[in-house]
């Protein structure tokens, strides 16, 4: 379901164990990104990010400002039987061009 062409619509889902409700979106690759914010936020406040992804994806990232560059990033990947979560910040993007000769 889309609000406008190409714009995903989020939906609310609540965790039955923690009772935390997330506004989130699942893309076509099966990656779910959910965000829980307080109802009446007062600075400073906590935000909870929930990422669920198929293991085949190897890593998943979320840019808090929309674009990757000059915004805080949250990145997660599988590490044996658990997960590693890391905060990152990208100053620039490097483009790599590959050419294949036949």
With bands split at pLDDT 50, 70 and 90, how would you rate the model's confidence at 13? very high
Count of beta carbons in the 10 Å neighbourhood of residue 67 = 9
Domain of 34, in residue numbers = 2-89
- Residues 45-56 as b/e (b if ≥16 CB within 10 A, e otherwise) read eeeeebbebeee
What is the C-alpha to C-alpha distance for residues 68 and 46, in angstroms, rounded to an integer? 21
Residue 99 lies in a domain: no
Q: Is residue 101 part of a domain?
A: no
Please indicate, yes or no, if residue 9 is contained in any of the structural domains: yes
- What secondary structure does DSSP assign to 36-100, as a single string? E--SS--SS---EEEEE--GGG-EEEEETTSSSBTSEEEEEEEETTEEEEEEEEBS---------
DSSP 19: -
User: What CATH number does the domain containing 63 carry?
Assistant: 2.60.40.1210
Whole-number average pLDDT of the chain: 85
| pTM over cut 0.75 | no
Higher pLDDT pick, 95 / 54: 54
Distance of alpha carbon 96 from its chain centroid, rounded? 24
Q: Is residue 8 included in any domain, yes or no?
A: yes
pLDDT one-digit tens code per residue, 46-66: 999 999 999 899 999 998 887
């Amino acid at each position: 379901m889309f609000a406008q062409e190409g714009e995903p619509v989020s939906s609310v889902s609540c965790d039955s164990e923690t009772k935390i409700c997330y506004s989130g979106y699942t893309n076509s690759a099966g990656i779910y990104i959910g965000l829980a914010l307080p109802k009446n936020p007062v600075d400073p406040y906590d935000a909870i990010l929930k990422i669920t992804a198929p293991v085949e994806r190897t890593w998943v990232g979320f840019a808090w400002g929309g674009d990757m560059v000059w915004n805080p990033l949250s990145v997660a990947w599988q590490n044996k039987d658990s997960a590693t979560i890391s905060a990152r910040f990208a100053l620039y993007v490097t483009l790599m061009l590959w050419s294949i000769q036949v």
